[in-house]
Structure 1
């Protein structure tokens, strides 16, 4: 981003606005001075904007300049995502990634109106689900398959520093030399349709 003329500002939940707990009276909050257009936050900040600050007040603080919000670090509730999207007038993208994958993983599209999911994998990564019989999660589950989330690709780190045992436990490479990290998180894919259920009537439009 700096390469194309953008600046990066950092803020804290306790110093975000002019009236935040750790802001000295008479000074400006982290969000007031830079007036950001792209906001990357953890879900707790958006929850506070919804319940404590009122999203319309937050919009006034940010001068209505926000174009896109990135949420990550923890799941964002669908209710909060929809509420903030409407009040701030900006789409919210949810991402899923870890330090071990250089934050690369699934990320929702800019124009995706759905809530409660993180979208498709980024170009740098691939995602698969792995059976966990002990926990009762199988990729053969119906109607939606479940399993441990594994992320693979060139963005996956080499392992834990000087900890070969832990590295062997959660990292491996397949026959295509794709390096995989097993996250320990349980997830599910969200199929949207089946091609066998789709028909093409005389008017030419596919319907399901």
Structure 2
């Protein structure tokens, strides 16, 4: 084969390999990003992926946890990575929370909506409040409202434990609650722009078995 014929062939092979490599890298990047966007519900030793933006799930009247990934909270760099969990007894409050809205438009997610934790530094109850949310951060082992499960580069896998419910001015354990259904809106503002975007909001209807 002549040299002038070999060169175009090698060029085509090179382009093909480069294109395939780019597609693989994009696929790998997409897979990695989707992993860190995932939300999990953990109960009775099993972890379930919440795969949809809005999902109805039945759980036992028993302690459970919400698990998710987030970037590290760094107040010095003004990187206030957090999760906000609003709990409602009325589905109409859940319906008000929509993708595309600004956080400031919602009383449960605006800048003054974070409820104070208990003396332990954590939320000892899931508090039902249509105008407030659990402001969930992990600074370090001494200042935390979440459990740190593991770290992967800039991301942390975090856990919000729910053992008790607070409603009607009383704290009730999960096993003793008379509720049959409640609603959660979980917001993780991943780019800190104050807007509720795709892959940042999960709405859950929790039915108790």
Relative to the length of structure 2, the TM-score reads: 0.20
Q: State the structure with bigger RCO (CA 8 A, min sep 6), 1 or 2.
A: 2
Select the structure of larger CA radius of gyration: 2
